[in-house]
Homo-oligomer: A and B are copies of this chain.
């Protein structure tokens, strides 16, 4: 049915990753500048160490410099990296670059690959993904308003985007714009590669948010007659949504993988403090209310972990895992937030302070209910899928 076992070789890689996290990454966290990340003089040597140990950009296929070990392995690896806000960057798997490289790999021309893919993979440049608009629900991209009109051998882009993560330090953006307003809903838009600095591409403001894990902000962007060469289109005209789906699906499971790391670390901090801190003459660990936190968290983490790896395993088998990914997206988001919150509660005021990573986890964690589709949409979509399967007599027993 399913087999989530890493090979011996994979276990060695995971152990190496864990060692780097504990010996190098956690200690480097004190140098993080919130909303900016690690200074290069700290970051670059860490990245080099990862490259030296052959752990760099593990999500990529082998021929392009990755490890090509499949999604279950990535789940186990991201569980390590996800335990620190800087883990993904140090290991060459930082969003939104990872998603962008995926699109480039799948739809890029040789010229596009040469120009954009290699330097992004090597973390020489960064990138952003400009889809969301203010007046369009992220869950309903068919309503996009930004347009790209062909004029001569150029595309002219007009419109506004917001919450474009990483735009502040990107060299280029992948931009979604409507190329055929009258087409069927999922064929209205196309994707474009736009260099930052192109006239008419204006960074309006960095929208401040609750969490500060993002290094390059979340920007509001204006396209004001922004002209780009004809060959800047990614894939074919009208393929925008197809490419976006390809990007978002695996992205969602990557979130769930990283969350496992945050949960593990929060849980360990909870255990640690519960054993250390005394009140009324005995350690917190001896109070049933605290034991209940621990037991509930353990059960939920176990659920979250198995569901994430199961979805990854289905992907590795070439099976349709959309249902499993949707389930763990909303279910895991709640578990993530609950476990962080309990860890804070065990720490009391200390947990509420910035002396532990928990408060940053808490702020960042809240976004998990929202990004890449709010819980409410995933619930609706997955229910409809299950109902349809049931109607068609091919409902999987699992759900």
Interface residues of A (CB under 8 A from B): 1-6, 79, 132, 137-140, 143, 162-163, 207-211, 218, 264, 267-268, 271-272, 274-275, 277-280, 285, 287-292, 294-296, 298-307, 309-310, 323-324, 326-328, 330-331, 341, 344-345, 348-349, 351-355, 359, 362-363, 366-367, 369-371, 374-376, 378-380, 382-384, 386-387, 390-391, 395, 397-399
Min Cβ gap A130→B in Å is 14
Excluding A137-B348, A208-B354, A271-B390, 20 further A-B contacts by CB distance (< 8 Å) are: A1-B5, A2-B5, A3-B4, A139-B279, A274-B387, A289-B376, A294-B386, A295-B330, A295-B378, A295-B379, A295-B382, A295-B383, A299-B327, A301-B398, A302-B398, A305-B398, A306-B307, A345-B369, A345-B376, A349-B370
A328 to B288, CA, bound (A): 19
Contact A352 B370 (CB under 8 A): yes
Min Cβ gap A345→B in Å is 6
A302 to B397, CA, bound (A): 9
A354 to B299, CA, bound (A): 32
A395 to B267, CA, bound (A): 11
Min Cβ gap A330→B in Å is 7
Contact B140 A387 (CB under 8 A): no
From B210, B290, B395, contact of A362 by CB (8 A): B210
Contacts of A341 in B (CB 8 A): 366
Contact A327 B354 (CB under 8 A): no
A303 with B306: in contact, given A163-B349, A345-B369, A353-B207 (CB under 8 Å)? yes
A399 with B4: in contact, given A209-B352, A275-B387, A384-B291 (CB under 8 Å)? no
A295 to B324, CA, bound (A): 11
Contacts of A132 in B (CB 8 A): 349
From B209, B287, B397, contact of A353 by CB (8 A): B209
Q: How many copies does the complex hold?
A: 4
Contacts of A304 in B (CB 8 A): 303
Min Cβ gap A329→B in Å is 10
A376 with B207: in contact, given A218-B353, A280-B137 (CB under 8 Å)? no
From B272, B274, B359, B379, contact of A296 by CB (8 A): B379
Min Cβ gap A213→B in Å is 12
